Structure 1
Amino acid sequence: MRLAALALLLMLLPSCGLRPLYAGGSDGAVANALGSVEVEPIAGRGGWLVRNALQDRLQPLGAGAPRYRLTVKLDDDIEGFGVRSDDALTRERRTLRARYQLTDLTSGDIILDATEGSDAGIDVVGSEYAVIAAENTALENLAERLAGQIVTRLSARARAAP
């Protein structure tokens, strides 16, 4: 009975419509499109971190001439909340948002205009050094997460393109 159910599920699997995003590996359409994206410099420390994370994800996929330009504008905000009775903060939230555009360099058309964002909670402790270190670590983690979200969106867009 179990074997028959498993066989039925295996027969239905090819008809589910799922296709691998990176079909063809480094020679596939998505990898070629991502490998031809040039990332413009992004202002600020967070911008430097996001740009490096994007380049780490995109550059290994291709070494040809850029066909697309990715322009990213960041909004980095730290908001305090969680106030004790003596008006001291106990928690902070660091939010990193990106608005980005993918432009076709040959035609100048904007192919993708989107936003992504992420946030992280930070404990505010008695040591100012520890709080600054936690804020910097949160920024590094958010930059990596944001770059991953952007590359995922670019990959989905490249897969959907004719």
Structure 2
Amino acid sequence: MKRTAAALILASLALSGCGLRPLYSGGSKGAVAQSLGQVEIAPIPGKAGWLVRNAIADRLGTVSQSGAVYRLEVELDDQITGFGVRRDDSVTRERRSLRARYRLVEADKGTVVLDATAGSDAGIDIVSSEYATIAAENTALENLSQVIADQIVTRLALYAQRTKDAPPAGKP
């Protein structure tokens, strides 16, 4: 029992010195959350754009457009590719791919401070019911939009963390 307790204490001491810090320390009042709240999301065309924009906005907790320090510009590429072909040339499976190229721009200067991509794929079974196939394609798009939004917001949070910790210009 004493060995287990001693091992736990040593492990907790070792982990406390590893340098890991919570990304969202301070909760909604923390520096990263405050930075994310100052991002305006530019309109994204299409159904996929509407879904991605809403998912990002839900995660960012954005402020009013007039108080935005940054503008997020997103371009989407949504494709459905058929594969798994039968002898009669009918497709049995599809892959829906959603790719995003996004840029974080300083609103007042127009300077691009972050330029990156995000993407994800989903497999869809083609069944005899056309309605079921269309429903599966729409569900895949909704799920992919959530994944893309998570990837974008995570990258924005890492950027906010990195710039928060950077020393002011001219200081070591």
Please give the alpha-carbon distance, in whole angstroms, between the structure 2 residues aligned to 1:31 and 1:3.
37
Q: Partner residue of 1:98? A: 100
Per the TM alignment, residue 86 of structure 1 is displaced from its structure 2 partner at its CA by 1.4
Taking the aligned partners of 1:143 and 1:70, their CA distance within structure 2 comes to 16
Of 63, 77, 80 in structure 2, the residue corresponding to residue 78 of structure 1 is 80
The two structures have a TM-score, normalised by structure 1, of 0.96
> Share of identical aligned residues, percent?
61
What count of residue pairs does the alignment treat as equivalent? 161
Unaligned runs of 5+ in 1: none
How high is the TM-score relative to the length of structure 2?
0.90
Per the TM alignment, residue 106 of structure 1 is displaced from its structure 2 partner at its CA by: 2.2
| Superposed structure 1 runs of 4+ greater than 3 Å apart | none
Q: Output the amino acid matched with 2:113.
A: I
Structure 2 unaligned spans of 5+: 167-172
**1:108 corresponds to which of 83, 107, 110:** 110
SS at match of 2:128: coil
Offset at 1:109? 1.1
Q: CA deviation at 1:138?
A: 0.4
1:1-12 correspondence to structure 2 within 5 Å: 1-12=3-14
**Aligned to 2:157, which of 151, 155, 158?**
155
Select 2:140's aligned residue among 128, 131, 138.
Answer: 138
- Matched letter for residue 147 of structure 1: A
Give the secondary-structure state (helix, strand or coil) at the position aligned to 2:80. strand
Distance 1:156 1:70 in 2: 15
